[in-house]
Amino acid sequence: MASRIEAPPFLIPAGTAIATPVTMSLFSTRGTVQDVEFLIPPGPSGLVGFSLWHSNEQIIPKVRGTWIIADGEVIRWPLDGYSDQPAWQIRGYNLDVYPHTIYPRILIEDWQPGQPIVSSPTPIEVVD
């Protein structure tokens, strides 16, 4: 069960190119990510994309260089077997003339001394 939630807003400036996406760390304290959720308000109209990363590896979507493109949606994935290290990031581009904000919510079980360490991401399947 999650013991904390991290929910930093992710502002993607207008005119951020796909080739040079903006990157933001999601949290800085060790813990096991159990679920990720993204609120994408209405407005991007297909001009904004984002992806979730850990330790310089793209996690969601699984294929590097692909993006989640949404408008007025809440997207949620339960996760299992990922590293408990705080190297989680979100990356995004914005081809629009207006800035857009995505609201990630990361549900985390805090790490306790003596717990086993999971060292690398494990591929996931998207659950609809």
pLDDT in tens, 97-106: 999 999 999 9
pLDDT at 33 over 60: yes
The domains of the chain, with CATH numbers, are 4-110 (2.60.120.530)
pLDDT at 128 over 60: no
Q: Are 82 and 116 in contact (CB under 8 A)?
A: no
The per-residue pLDDT for range 48-66, each reduced to its tens digit, is 999 999 988 999 998 999 9
Rg for the chain, CA atoms, rounded = 14
- Report the distance separating Cα 80 and Cα 63, nearest Å: 18
pTM, to two decimals: 0.82
Closest CA to 107 of 11, 49, 12, 26: 26
